[in-house]
Amino acid sequence: MKETPKKEDVEYWRWQEYHRVFSEKKWKNKDIITAGVDVGSVGSKATIMIDGEVYSWGVMRTGSNSPDSAKKVLDWAMEGTGLRLDDFKYIVGTGYGRVNVPMANKAITEIACHAKGANYIWGPSVRTVLDVGGQDIKAIHCDETGRVTSFLMNDKCAAGTGRGMEVFADLLKIPIEKIGEVSLKVEEEPPPVSCTCVAFAKTEAMGLLRKGWSKEKVLAAYTHAMAIRMGNLIKRVGLEREFVITGGQSKNIGIVTRIEKQLGVKCLPMPDWQENGLDPMIAGAIGAALFGKALYEKAQKS
């Protein structure tokens, strides 16, 4: 039983699901084909790598069932590649639902995977990674090989997370992929909302709207508060350059600009992922697939 959504209830929070295959690359049976499946609380990501190079990936929303989501997103990354499940030499599961990835040979924490993935996307100069996920935010330090040296996380609170942003997208009726841009359309930066808790911030925002604030201004005030929260997490772990942002909110220009302003440094520029296919949202899945390759090679040697 599937209801067709009425025109007026547009789901502003819903982001686009992507799928990408580098068809110029060809895989052979002897290649080390690995996959990383990152089942997050909000988004599921799968990346397939050939000999440690990204070959295809898929990004979709996590359903209420983790094993299902893992299977669906990997199927999607495999679509149009001719690959079958038994072609994979190693599959690593990561993310919030990592223990529920049925086809995985091993589960690895998303903290290790994001650091590894950031190292792959931006190169060995990366030292601080801010991963803004659907349900938590993490500030991670790593060395030149992408190995984690320390980290801090804020969990079990929606403030500053992607989910919190979705709540605001819905409240203000602005599509989630536009909220960054829209939040920058203010002449002067308003003071941040005083409530950290998303539930209270929502009430506060409604009060501001009633007071006659524009949507843009309210969004700017909320984004400002969330950027401060993320910036503080980085300050607590210590900012070491170079600095990058991964996860869905790395695409929120409103957040990125404000964190840069707060910390007084620029992030390494986001790769033109539509061009080269390295979406910062799949950093964790890339890291997982790379760990898969290393684990497979280790097993071959012994």
Subset of residues 155 to 184 that bind other proteins, contact rule: CB under 8 A: 156-158, 163-164, 167
Smallest distance from other proteins to CB 1, Å: 13
Per-residue burial over 39-51, b = 16 or more CB atoms within 10 Å of its CB, e = otherwise: bbbbbbbbbbbbe
φ, ψ for residue 255, nearest 5 deg: -70, -50
Answer for the pair 60, 43: CB distance below 8 angstroms, yes or no: yes
Site string for other proteins, 40-69 (x = CB under 8 A): -x----------------------x-----
Smallest distance from other proteins to CB 200, Å: 6
Among 148, 152, 195, 294, binds other proteins (CB under 8 A): 195
Among 10, 85, 99, 197, binds other proteins (CB under 8 A): 197
Site string for other proteins, 78-117 (x = CB under 8 A): ----------------------------------------
| Sequential DSSP letters for 89-134 | SEEEEESTTGGG-TT-SEE--HHHHHHHHHHHHH-TT--EEEEE-S
Smallest distance from other proteins to CB 163, Å: 6
Distance separating alpha carbons of residues 261 and 162, to the nearest angstrom: 20
Q: What angle do CA 239, 195, 262 make, to 5 degrees?
A: 25
Stretch that binds other proteins, among 193-201, 216-224, 267-275, 289-297 (CB under 8 A): 193-201
Smallest distance from other proteins to CB 161, Å: 8
Smallest distance from other proteins to CB 131, Å: 17
φ, ψ for residue 48, nearest 5 deg: -110, 130
Among 100, 105, 196, 262, binds other proteins (CB under 8 A): 196
Q: What is the widest separation between alpha-carbon atoms in the chain? A: 69
CA distances from 295 to 34, 99, 199, 278 (A): 10, 18, 43, 23
- Locus of tokens 């790395």: 250
Subset of residues 217 to 246 that bind other proteins, contact rule: CB under 8 A: none
By CB under 8 A, name the binding residues for other proteins.
41, 64, 135, 156-158, 163-164, 167, 195-200
